[in-house]
Chains A and B, each alone.
Chain A
């Protein structure tokens, strides 16, 4: 069965600090997709990034970067020079490509508080 673990329940940092959110996943599928979503205080879930299991290239988008390592089944998310607006709950999610369903499995989320 697929599973996503986000060991950090809550993280607090001071503005301009770098912060890394951990995500570890379990799957028996060889083809799968990983995602990060952000849930700001307003409540909506905002899609941030998608990665497929064949693409281990790290990605950078502005202050955001993602480190995908299949050897450790991890897909960590780093925010550089954090800002107050980054405060949110961040969810890592996994989707397997199999015949049993197309649903996402979400991790429990990490609540990030960026203090001014």
Chain B
């Protein structure tokens, strides 16, 4: 079974530009999550989709971040306009039913804003 895949693996953009990160979850996983780790700090929750619906977006830092999951399959996370403090590693994860199901993470997208 294919794991969670994220694209791109690295992205370097200038402040003010736009970047879109993509995540393909494991097939059949209704739950999809975005997390990020900034400057080697904690892994912070951003938001959670159940199929195409946003279950919890309490971790989204501000309105420069927009996540979508049209059709309940892959998800995109757009940052517009990017700021320096957005630099970090963005992880996507998926799981089957919630509760004790572990999250299966992708390899992450390392975003550098210069």
- B98 in contact with A102 (CB, 8 Å): yes
Q: Are A44 and B102 in contact (CB under 8 A)?
A: no
Give the segment of A63-71, A80-88, A103-111 that binds chain B: A103-111
State which residues 30-60 of B face A: CB under 8 Å: 31, 33, 35, 41-45, 48, 55-56, 58-59
When C-beta atoms are compared, the residue in chain B nearest to A108 turns out to be: B42
B: number of interface residues (CB 8 Å) = 27
Instruction: Answer yes or no: A77 CB below 8 A from chain B CBs.
Output: no
Q: Give complex CA distance A108, B43 in Å.
A: 7
**Contacting residues, chain B, for A108 (C-beta < 8 A):** 41-42
Contact A109:B42 (CB < 8 A) given known A50-B100, A101-B56: yes
Could you tell me which A residues sit within 8 Å of B by CB distance? 33, 35, 37, 42-47, 50, 52, 91, 95, 97, 100-109
Residues of chain B having any CB pair with chain A under 8 Å: 31, 33, 35, 41-45, 48, 55-56, 58-59, 89, 91, 93, 98-100, 102-108, 110
